[in-house]
């Protein structure tokens, strides 16, 4: 009896905690625009940015948390802690960074930090209450990393919103993202230029509820 009561109280406190401090994670492969979207959300609702962005992959190598973001839409409000995670990759080669004219020692250091970032991002999956999977809509969405991320979220019953970013670019193909993940809500945005950002917030409310 005591065991049952303890389990119920544990679940109840988890629900209350969840409602108070909802954790919204941004996940995806490197250079998809997770940090750009994080900055867009923070700029829209806090008036300040939270992450640095760069054309060089693995710019975000640590999990970054911005607390108490309050988004309002159609008279409803949604409060959450936003978690910007390092891009998940299966390979990290310091030589890839040399192409961006980075010194060898810096490239090696960045690669080492990036491997730790991937490990941390995966570890944080268990803590998420909802996740926005950010994909680059100019890139083929049928990658195992995308499937692994979404598969892990599905296995944990974590609500998912898929974002096809960079729809402002000619090469973007939102239809490909939609057909790769037909079971999820997909919104096409440009986090950099703010295209469709209102639609993104509406979809976020729908997914998080």
Partner 1 sequence: MALTLQFVPYDELNGMEPEKRINRLLDIVKKDKVILMQGRLKPSEEAWLIQKTMEHVSKSFRGIELCTIYPENPKNARLVNTLKNMLVKFLVGTRDGLTIIGPATVIKEIKRNPDKIELLTNIK
203 with 209: CB under 8 angstroms? no
4 with 64: CB under 8 angstroms? no
Q: Which two tokens stand for residue 16?
A: 């209350």
82 with 24: CB under 8 angstroms? yes
- Applying CB under 8 A, the residues found at the interface with partner 1 are 88-93, 111, 115-116, 118-119, 122-123, 125, 140, 142-145, 147-148, 151-152, 154-155, 179, 182
CB nearer to partner 1: give 96 or 129. 96
Shortest approach of partner 1 to residue 85 CB, angstroms? 13
Shortest approach of partner 1 to residue 171 CB, angstroms? 16
Shortest approach of partner 1 to residue 94 CB, angstroms? 8
Dihedral of alpha carbons 169, 171, 175, 177, sign: negative
For residues 54 and 71, give the distance between their C-alpha atoms in angstroms, rounded to a whole number.
26
For residues 102 and 99, give the distance between their C-alpha atoms in angstroms, rounded to a whole number.
7
């Amino acid at each position: 009896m005591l065991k049952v009561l303890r389990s119920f109280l544990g679940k109840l406190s988890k629900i209350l905690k969840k409602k108070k401090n909802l954790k919204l994670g941004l996940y995806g492969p490197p250079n998809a625009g997770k940090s750009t979207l994080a900055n867009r959300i923070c700029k829209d609702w806090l008036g300040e940015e939270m992450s640095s962005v760069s054309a060089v992959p693995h710019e975000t190598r640590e999990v970054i948390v911005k607390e108490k973001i309050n988004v309002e839409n159609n008279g409803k409000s949604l409060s959450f802690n936003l978690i910007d995670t390092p891009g998940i990759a299966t390979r990290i080669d310091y030589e890839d960074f040399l192409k961006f004219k980075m010194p060898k020692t810096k490239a090696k250091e960045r690669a080492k930090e990036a491997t730790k970032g991937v490990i941390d991002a995966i570890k944080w999956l268990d803590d998420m209450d909802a996740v926005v999977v950010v994909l680059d809509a100019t890139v083929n969405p049928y990658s195992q990393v995308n499937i692994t991320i979404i598969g892990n979220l599905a296995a944990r019953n974590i609500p998912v919103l898929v974002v096809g970013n960079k729809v402002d670019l000619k090469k973007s193909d939102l239809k490909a993202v939609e057909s790769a993940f037909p079971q999820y809500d997909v919104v096409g945005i440009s986090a950099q230029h703010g295209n469709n950002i209102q639609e993104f917030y509406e979809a976020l409310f729908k997914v998080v509820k």
